[in-house]
Amino acid sequence: MKKIGILTSGGDCQGLNAAIRGVAKGLYEEIDDVEIYGIQNGYAGLIHGDYKKMNQSDFSGILTIGGTILGTSRQPFKMMRVIEDENSIDKVAAMKDNYKKMGLDCLVILGGNGTHKTANLLSEEGLNVVTMPKTIDNDVWGTEMTFGFQSAVDIATEVIDCIHTTATSHGRIFIVEVMGHKVGWLNLYAGIAGGADIILLPEIPYDINEIAKVIEKREQAGKRFSILAVAEGAISKEEAKMKKKELKALRASMPYPSISYKIAKELEEVTGHEIRVTVPGHFQRGGSPCAYDRFLCTRFGAAAARLIKNEQYGFMVALQNEKIVPVPLGEVAGKLKKVPVDSDIIEAAKEIGISFGD
Ligand code: F6P
């Protein structure tokens, strides 16, 4: 008999249920006697011993459903070992304790960057861990693609498409703010797919005057509208020179709900045009996974089950060169996969006249 725990951690995304289903089906199929335990609400459930035994039927009919049937929570890595007062607990010790109490043979963890730091820590502490990379940000190191990303790209692209029709009708300048605080993959893909004229990424600091010049050039060429796809984490050239703490304080004191409104205000001043801002926000993480994500999650799930069957622990399943491969957790944890500024995607975008505001 093998006992396997599954948890989903961090911000949700499309495909979590498809991946849960994939690994569960693989386990039931590949291992003769297996029990699966659903740990509730991410690492919080493992810390507090909140879990339930799942039935095979719990994994049916969930392929197309958004969110996660297990619930999730954000569990910052830096909080893990902090013992501040008598009410605080050693979270790592609590997780190890509950893993043992449950009699688990392996813990399957679905998550992004923060989640992988903790997964690696648990693996180093001796727990058998297998992970799957999820996030709409596509910033997990070691895999070319995370699940959730393509679904979010589809949604953000549709937002830009819709904004295009109203922008062209009115001859207006629009900003669409796309999720991604630290990396710009989602905005890069959606911006290109949606035909944005200017794409601002956290990886390429912008200059407001350069953006104004692009808009002016478009006007001179008879284009009455412009669309800017702005990543949540877009940063100006001046801000890029600041220390992290300084920038954080500046952003916290900003009298705008998000960076796009600041850029809109500055652009209004420089260009003299009214700028409209659209922020789809968490809409980008909601709803059904697209076909590609269902496909990827199913492959990831089957690969995770195979690793467990073969008792190969301490790995994340990853997509590399069209193949699903195991990557050691130690190689994944603590790294961020940013958009390389010399990426051929950026080069191609520039070649067709898209500006990055630099
Ligand atoms: O990590 C996924 C993500 O959606 C980011 O793109 C975004 O910056 C962040 O999560 C939002 O976090 P929260 O859901 O906690 O508001």
Interval 130-162: pLDDT, tens: 999 999 999 999 999 999 999 999 999 999 999
Q: What is the mean pLDDT of residues 252-261?
A: 95
Would you state the CATH architecture of domain 2-148+289-332? 3-Layer(aba) Sandwich (3.40)
Q: Give backbone dihedrals phi and psi of 279, rounded to 5 degrees, phi first.
A: -120, 100
Percent of the chain past pLDDT 70, that is, above it, reads 96
Report the separation in Å between the CA atom of 279 and the middle of ligand 1, taken as the mean of its atom positions. 13
Domain boundaries, the chain: 2-148+289-332, 150-285
Q: Which of 8, 117, 155, 179 should be mutated for ligand 1, with most atoms under 8 A from CB?
A: 179
Q: Which of 283, 285, 11 is nearest to 149 (CA)?
A: 285
Q: State the catalytic residue, choosing from 32, 50, 85, 137.
A: 137
- Per-residue confidence (pLDDT) for residue 74, from 0 to 100: 85
Per DSSP, the three-state class of 225 is: coil
Distance from C-alpha of 108 to C-alpha of 89, rounded to nearest angstrom: 23
**2-148+289-332 matches 150-285 in fold:** yes
- Per-residue confidence (pLDDT) for residue 90, from 0 to 100: 86
- Per-residue confidence (pLDDT) for residue 89, from 0 to 100: 75
230 beta partners: 177, 200
- Per-residue confidence (pLDDT) for residue 109, from 0 to 100: 98
Distance from C-alpha of 271 to C-alpha of 288, rounded to nearest angstrom: 40
Distance from C-alpha of 43 to C-alpha of 109, rounded to nearest angstrom: 9
Query: Distance of CA 204 to CAs 208, 227, 251, 257, Å?
Result: 13, 18, 18, 22
- Per-residue confidence (pLDDT) for residue 86, from 0 to 100: 54
Q: Give backbone dihedrals phi and psi of 164, rounded to 5 degrees, phi first.
A: -55, -45
Residues with CB under 6 A from ligand 1: 11, 74, 112, 135-137, 179-181, 232, 285
Q: What is the mean pLDDT of residues 331-352?
A: 97
Report the separation in Å between the CA atom of 349 and the middle of ligand 1, taken as the mean of its atom positions. 26
- Per-residue confidence (pLDDT) for residue 6, from 0 to 100: 98
Report the separation in Å between the CA atom of 19 and the middle of ligand 1, taken as the mean of its atom positions. 20
ipTM: 0.96
Cα-to-chain-centroid distance, residue 61: 24
Query: Distance of CA 179 to CAs 37, 203, 285, 295, Å?
Result: 32, 14, 9, 23
- Per-residue confidence (pLDDT) for residue 83, from 0 to 100: 46
State the Cα torsion 282-286-290-296 to the nearest 10°: 90
Taking the whole predicted model, whether its pTM rises above 0.90 is answered as: yes
Report yes or no: 83 and 90 within 8 Å, Cβ to Cβ. yes
Say which CATH superfamily domain 150-285 falls into: Phosphofructokinase domain (3.40.50.460)
- Could you read off the pLDDT of 61-91 as tens digits, one per residue? 999 999 999 999 986 555 555 445 555 678 8
- Per-residue confidence (pLDDT) for residue 5, from 0 to 100: 98
Question: Residue type for 123, please?
Answer: S
- Could you read off the pLDDT of 305-331 as tens digits, one per residue? 999 999 999 999 999 999 999 999 999
State the Cα torsion 19-20-22-28 to the nearest 10°: 170
Question: Residue type for 99, please?
Answer: Y
Q: Which string of b and e fits 125-160 if b means at least 16 CB within 10 Å?
A: eebbbbbbbbbbbbbbbbbebbbbbbbbbbbbbebb
Parallel/antiparallel/unpaired status of strands 2-8 and 34-39: parallel
* Atom 14 (ligand 1) nearest CA: 11
